[in-house]
């Protein structure tokens, strides 16, 4: 009986130790999880400002669906898909036609810009569709007249350019010009980054900068080094470059500062780095419509980085 009691006591001790170990880990995990969930940072959404020719600003998200504004030669309509659509107004006034067969119209420029934590789409009067990522902008004529279609863009934008062989479409950004007739491409040109990247998905694109010019094909990306004024090309996974447009983040061997820039723009957060921070590279994908804590938690699963959330400030730690 004493021997049985000894075995029983030993077994009970082992069970108790296991329970304490499980409880400690469960409590720690729950505590860490509660730190994140208690400070939820919601993802970005469809919001943007439209700046009209007279300088007036319209907060698009606050407007009901329907006509948002009328310019001298176009109507601007908001629909329910996070999109505004420009259509050319009919005019009874006759004007001399240019060499493209269009009447010379007064050129009126508008700008669509998204804040941090915002995205939006615009359909231009020629049928070209543009998706703007967070902290981005595009300036364009409300009606394209003359022999070229010229817009200016900053930040990140995806273009589906309406085909018109007689009227090339040009995008100007940071001393860098993209010329197309009709194609699909992504432009990455944030002011704080020392480079401009153009990724082609369909068609053909000519990229020009500082007396250099290259033609890229689908699946290729050009990079313009603003500081050294050099153009280069490489083959990449083009679909990964437009992951943001499809609603998710994709990290392809990206370092942490690059990833945190993306998160900072989309979640409208500030990022700080602990003095002991060690840079790492990551691969993976996650929905852009998860709250920020879930995305950070995914990065933490690697065991190489940790985060502390304080309001809208994220501290990156080893």
Q: What is the pLDDT along the chain (318 residues), one digit of tens a residue?
A: 544 444 444 444 444 334 333 433 444 444 444 344 446 899 999 999 999 999 999 999 999 999 999 987 899 999 988 999 999 887 555 444 444 444 555 789 999 999 999 999 999 999 999 999 999 999 999 999 889 999 999 999 999 999 999 999 999 999 899 999 889 999 999 999 999 999 999 999 999 998 899 999 999 999 999 999 999 999 999 999 999 999 999 999 999 999 999 999 999 999 999 988 889 899 999 999 999 999 999 999 988 899 999 999 999 998
Residue where a domain terminates, one of 187, 211, 241: 241
pLDDT at res. 43 = 96
Nearest alpha-carbon partner for 282 in 264, 248, 315, 305 = 305
Domain membership flag for residue 216: yes
Domain membership flag for residue 19: no
Task: Look at phi and psi of residue 14 and say left if phi exceeds 0, alpha if psi is from -120 to 50, else beta.
Answer: alpha
The whole-angstrom separation of Cα 108 and Cα 86 is 12
Coil, helix or strand at residue 256 = helix
The whole-angstrom separation of Cα 198 and Cα 186 is 6
Domain membership flag for residue 14: no
At 221, which helix (H) or strand (E)? strand 220-225
Residue where a domain terminates, one of 224, 241, 258: 241
282: exposed, middle or buried (Cβ count in 10 Å: 0-12, 13-18, 19+)? middle
Q: Are residues 85 and 210 in the same domain?
A: yes
Q: Are residues 199 and 310 in the same domain?
A: no
pTM of the model: 0.84
pLDDT at res. 158 = 98
Q: Which domain holds residue 133?
A: 45-241
Q: Virtual CA dihedral for 48, 52, 54, 57, nearest 10 degrees?
A: -20
Q: Count the neighbouring beta carbons within 10 Å of the beta carbon of residue 105.
A: 21
The CATH number covering residue 277 comes to: 3.55.50.30
Q: Say which residue the tokens 């009919």 belong to.
A: 90
Domain membership flag for residue 8: no
Sorted by sequence, the CB contacts under 8 Å of residue 37 that are 6+ apart come out as: 293
Domain membership flag for residue 31: no
- Cβ proximity of 182 and 160 under 8 Å: no
Q: Are residues 273 and 169 in the same domain?
A: no
Q: Are residues 189 and 301 in the same domain?
A: no
CA distance to 71, 291, 312, per residue, from 30 (Å) = 56, 18, 22
CA distance to 67, 85, 123, 199, 255, per residue, from 126 (Å) = 18, 11, 8, 22, 39
The CATH number covering residue 155 comes to: 2.60.120.1440
Nearest alpha-carbon partner for 222 in 189, 259, 190, 196 = 196
pLDDT at res. 104 = 57
Token digits of residue 82: 């996070």
Residue where a domain terminates, one of 200, 222, 241: 241
């Amino acid at each position: 009986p004493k021997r049985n009691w000894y075995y029983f006591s030993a077994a009970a001790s082992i069970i108790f130790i296991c329970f304490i170990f499980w409880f400690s880990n469960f409590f720690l995990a729950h505590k860490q999880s509660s730190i994140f969930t208690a400070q939820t940072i919601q993802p970005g959404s469809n919001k943007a400002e439209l700046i009209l020719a007279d300088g007036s600003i319209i907060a698009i998200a606050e407007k009901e669906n329907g006509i948002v504004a009328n310019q001298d030669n176009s109507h601007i309509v908001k629909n329910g898909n996070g999109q505004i659509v420009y259509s050319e107004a009919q005019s009874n006034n006759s004007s001399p036609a240019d060499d493209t067969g269009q009447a010379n119209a007064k050129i009126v420029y508008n700008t669509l810009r998204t804040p941090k934590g915002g995205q939006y789409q615009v359909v231009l009067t020629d049928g070209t569709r543009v998706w703007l990522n967070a902290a981005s902008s595009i300036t364009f004529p409300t009606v394209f007249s003359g022999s070229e279609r010229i817009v200016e863009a900053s930040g990140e934008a995806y273009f589906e350019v309406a085909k018109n062989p007689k009227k090339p479409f040009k995008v100007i950004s940071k001393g860098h010009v993209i010329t197309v007739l009709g194609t699909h491409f992504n432009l990455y040109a944030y002011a704080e980054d020392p480079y401009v990247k153009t990724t082609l998905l369909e068609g053909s694109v000519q990229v020009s900068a500082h007396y250099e010019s290259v033609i890229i094909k689908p699946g290729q990306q050009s990079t313009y080094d603003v500081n050294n004024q050099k153009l280069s090309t490489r083959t990449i996974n083009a679909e990964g470059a437009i992951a943001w447009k499809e609603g998710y983040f994709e990290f392809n061997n990206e370092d942490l500062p690059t990833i945190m820039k993306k998160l900072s723009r989309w979640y409208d957060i500030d990022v700080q780095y602990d003095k002991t921070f060690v840079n790492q590279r990551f691969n993976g994908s996650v929905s852009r419509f998860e709250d920020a804590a879930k995305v950070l938690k995914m990065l933490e699963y690697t065991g190489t980085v940790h985060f502390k959330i304080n309001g809208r400030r994220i501290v990156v730690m080893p």
